[in-house]
Structure 1
Amino acid sequence: MHMKCMKSNEHFQWLTMYYTYSIVKYGACEMQLKHRLVVSLGLLSLLSLLIGGVGISGVRTLNRNLDDIADINNPEMLFASALQNSIQDRMIAIRNVILLTDPQMVAPEVERIKRQETLYRDSYSGLGKMFDAEAGTTDEEKRLFAKLGELEAAAQPAFAAVLDAGLKNERELATRLAIDRLRPAQRAWIDAAQALKDKEIKLNEEASAAAKSAADKAYTTILLLVVVALVVSVTVSVLLTRGVMRQLGGDPAEAQAIAGEIAAGNLAFAVDTSQMANDSLIASLEQMRVSLNRMVAEIKGSADTIAHAAAEIADGNSDLSRRTEEQASSL
């Protein structure tokens, strides 16, 4: 599951890089503004999903590790500790049975042994069920558990013999049996219980380290993605602003003011387009103003020429009419 989450995160990262590459590649090209906005919003949405996905994945991994610690590692460690404590407590009780002579004082020790035997059986059974049910049980755990059962079976006859001799007040026999037979079996039995307990403690520590590592990794990844999202957001904003400003040639209010002046018939102004692209809106408005100004000048020049020609024709007509009148009066 963890590997699937990692692959999914890598897929999101490659997809994010592709979107960023598209913005950089086409930001200055002839992409329509609506397409730029769609790509930009898609990129930011993708980054948001990526951050949320990584956060959810990290939380799930952390919860899974914590569940393993709470529901598996801790109970198994407690069972292993209970097994070791039961063995040690029984050995203390059997020693007391050997040393004590008062039956009233021996009876509680016998009951103590019985309680510890019941506790041991319950703990051993519970741990065995967990090992059988848990797919993650290691081979080392299974081996130590089986060895513990073998050593218990080997120690029980010596333990029963010492207890029987102690209850019969045969102290010398009970002491000799305890030293010669029970003590070696007891040491091996306790050592096996200690080894199983140490193994469970180690697994618990590894699970805790894995949980901490998952939390640190999720924190680092989310922090990195937040930084990437911030950088991409700034980059997208700069590219979009630069693209729109390149198309407009300046602030939209300036373009609106120029268009308003032209619409009002005012062509007697100039716009500095030296820092603008030739195909920008303001540069195009300036070219339109210059063209209109030229057209008006040409029309005005043509009108003056026509007016001058009409005046000459009118003068010619007047002269012709005067001479005609002079000729008519001479006749």
Structure 2
Amino acid sequence: MLRNLTIKSQLVILISFMATLLLVIGGIGLNGMGKADEGLQRVYDDRTVPLMDLSSLVKATDRIRINALVAATAPWADVAIKANADTLRLDKEIDTLWAHYTRTAMAADEKALAEHFEAQWKTYKASRDVTMKLAMESDFEASRDNAFKDAAPKFEAVYTSLSKLIELQGTEARHEFETSRSRYETSRVIAIAAILLGLGLAAWLGFLLIRAITGPLNAAVKLARSVAEGDLTQRVDVHSTNEIGQLMQALREMTDNLAKVVGQVRSGTDTVATASNQIAAGNLDLSSRTEEQASSLEETASSM
């Protein structure tokens, strides 16, 4: 796979893979942190803040209930008038708190329970106003009768609904925590799997790259040493077209050319040796003939 790629391309692939792996793992981590931040924000905005609003609502409704009882059991109307004024102020505070609470994100069951509370609260306020009106008119007996027999049961229903809403905030916060925990575990498993897979692939790519570079280089070193020792019979195999393959091809051509040059030198040497032998043989033949002529001359001279 990497055989015909240039070394530069192989290094770019490996570095790009490691950079991509880093981006993937970083993305998983950032996504997990983002989800965790969203979960914490939901817990604060949609559960903690509503819980504080509902707690303030409970305190305000308790004070309204106390004001109604104070008015119903007051010895004179001025006490009832003062209690009623405080109650009207608390009504505005409750309206503000309730409006703030209902602007938060609500689950379906929470929304239904909130609508149920609104209806109960209106019913209780109507009965409470009767209690206050009778007390401010100094009809304390009728006021007490209305407070204990009509308004009190309606207030208990209101209080029960508020308690359920408060309990629901804890339940939803717990659910959000479990969701965030599950999301964290999923992100953790994915990150670990990505790290292990990335390390495995990086090791594999690194092994292929090392083998693709060092194998041919070792062969080139071996060939160079053989040539230095005068061995031109080594076989050079070229398996790629990258820089290493080009080096091996050049070494093969060099070896082949050296072998041809050596062969030509040997052929020339043999030719020179043959010519030398022929010259030597001619010289011997000439010398022999010279000796024969000398002998003939000597014989001729003797006969004269």
TM range (shorter): 0.7 to 0.9
- Pairing 1:197–2:166 present: yes
1:321 aligns with 2:286: yes
Encode CA deviations 1:51-77: one digit per residue, 9 max, x unaligned.
222222222222222222233332223
Contact map agreement 1:51 1:226 (CA 8 A) in 2? yes
* AA in 2 matched with 1:146: E
1:140 aligns with 2:109: yes
* Whole-angstrom distance in 1 between the partners of 2:86 and 2:77: 14
Decide whether the 8 Å contact of 1:90 with 1:116 is kept in 2.
yes
Structure 2 Cα separation of the partners of residues 305 and 189 of structure 1:
124
Structure 2 match to 1:221 = 190
Moved more, 226-235 or 296-305: 296-305
Q: Structure 1 counterpart of 2:45, which letter?
A: D
Secondary structure of 1:267 counterpart: coil
Q: CA deviation at 1:159?
A: 0.8
2:73/2:140 contact within 8 Å kept:
yes
Offset of 1:290 from its aligned partner? 8.4
Residue in 2 that maps onto 1:119: 93
Once the two structures are superposed, residues 233-277 of structure 1 have per-residue CA deviations (whole angstroms, 9 ceiling, x without a partner) of: 222212211222333346xxxx45863774xx5426999x9xxx9
Q: 1:287 to 1:175 in 2, by over 3 A?
A: same
Q: Which amino acid aligns with 1:83?
A: L
Which structure 1 residue ranges, 5 or more long, are not aligned? 1-25
**Residue of structure 2 aligned with 1:90, choices 64, 69, 91:** 64
Identity %: 13
Deviation at 1:189, TM superposition (A): 1.6
The correspondence of residues 123-202 of structure 1 with structure 2, limited to 5 A, is: 123-128=97-102, 130-131=103-104, 136-167=105-136, 170-202=139-171
Deviation sequence 1:215-238 (CA, Å, 0-9, x none): 444344333323333222222212
Q: Which of 1 and 2 has greater Rg? A: 2
Cα distance in 2 for residues equivalent to 1:77 and 1:227: 44
Residues 158, 283 of structure 1: CA spacing in aligned structure 2 closer, same or farther, 3 A cutoff? Answer: closer
SS of the residue aligned with 2:230? coil
- Normalization by structure 1: what TM-score? 0.70
Amino acid at match of 2:12: V
| Conservation of the 8 A alpha-carbon contact between 2:32 and 2:184 | yes
Structure-2 change in CA distance of 1:247 and 1:102 (3 Å): farther
Is the partner of 2:212 in helix, strand or coil? helix
Q: Deviations over 1:171-199 (max 9, x none)?
A: 44333222221122112222222233333
What is the aligned length? 290
Write the distance in 2 (CA, Å) between the matches of 1:61 and 1:32.
43
Asked if 1:240 corresponds to 2:209, the answer is yes
Describe how 1:1-331 pairs up with structure 2 within 5 A.
26-27=1-2, 29-101=3-75, 109-128=83-102, 130-131=103-104, 136-167=105-136, 170-249=139-218, 255-256=220-221, 259=224, 262=227, 265-267=228-230, 279=238, 302=267, 305-326=270-291, 328-329=293-294, 330=296
Give the TM-score normalised by structure 2: 0.75
- Output the amino acid matched with 1:236: L
